[in-house]
Structure 1
Amino acid sequence: MIPPLSIGFMGLFGRSPALRTFDADLRALDLHPKLVPEAVKLAALRILMAKTDGATLLDNDSKAAAELLAYCMVGAEPFATANGIHLTQSVEKRIDLALDDDTSSDARLILLALHANVIQPSVIEHYRLETDSG
């Protein structure tokens, strides 16, 4: 269990446990946390917290969100090279399911990556992702 998201005042209190866990999850996937904008990490954690009505996040939720964001940010081949084909296929299955259920947290995370412009063009092309411009 990860304590709820909290932000220290001007960095005086350090990073929240949720952000530290999320950074560690990203690093474990071979994506340096500094490559992910802080706003994206905070928004991702807020999406996860919405699933639990602001209650404590589960470690598995943080790990799953990091997997999805890492895949979106680096693309299929680099993700598979760093993390193996089984995890890559698992994430790709989650993306397929998210495209069918646009209310899921996975769909919201994909949309976050798309709107934050941190998603690989190959992922956009492969899944034919687009945003409504109206």
Structure 2
Amino acid sequence: MKRGSSIGLFGRFGRSEDLKRLDEALRRCDVHPMTLKEAVKLAAVSLMKDEEGGGEPPPFAYPPAAELLAYCVMGPDPFAHANGEAALARVEGRVERALEEDGTLDTKLILLAITSGVIQPSVVERFGLEAG
């Protein structure tokens, strides 16, 4: 039986495992999960599930998604400071590829960051991003 994502309720029902994994992956990228709207995280996990054909994403799928979201939320300089130049080059390469390849998970995560208003203006400017 497929279980949906859950943010918990009044401390009585716990967060779903998928959101816990995304939160932990965000922490590893130096983004406190509370700084990202729950709706954005739920949408990100939903996109990841769509990528898996509706099933649960494997544990190794969370760090790359979190890394891309962290870059969008932090911007290039803070991201590089927290995660290193190699991570910056890797994630910026992913953004460039996402702009060339329509419909990828990375493309969808970037669009999510744009439409939800969590993307840094420096990222928008750097890549000339726009929704639509």
What is the TM-score normalised by the length of structure 2? 0.93
Unaligned runs of 5+ residues in structure 1 are none
Partner SS state of residue 9, structure 2: helix
What is the TM-score normalised by the length of structure 1? 0.91
Q: Deviations 1:87-118 (Å, cap 9, x if unpaired)?
A: 11100110000000121010000000000000
Rounded to whole Å, the distance in 1 between the matches of 2:56 and 2:47 is 13
Rounded to whole Å, the distance in 2 between the matches of 1:5 and 1:88 is 32
Rounded to whole Å, the distance in 2 between the matches of 1:128 and 1:122 is 10
Q: 1:60, CA displacement in angstroms?
A: 2.0
Q: 1:10, CA displacement in angstroms?
A: 2.7
Detail structure 1 runs of 4+ shifted over 2 Å in the superposition: 3-6, 8-12
Q: Within the alignment, does 1:7 sit opposite 2:22 as a pair?
A: no
Is 1:99–1:107's contact at 8 Å kept on the other side of the alignment? yes
Counterparts of residues 1-134 of structure 1 (less than 5 Å): 5-7=4-6, 10-11=9-10, 12-132=12-132
Q: Deviations 1:15-42 (Å, cap 9, x if unpaired)?
A: 0011011101101111100000000000
The aligned length equals 130
Percent identical = 43
Is 1:4–1:55's contact at 8 Å kept on the other side of the alignment? no
Is 1:4–1:54's contact at 8 Å kept on the other side of the alignment? no
Q: Are residues 26 and 9 of structure 1, via their aligned partners in 2, closer, same or farther at CA, if it must alter by over 3 Å?
A: closer
CA RMSD, Structure 1 to Structure 2 (Å): 1.5
Partner SS state of residue 14, structure 1: coil
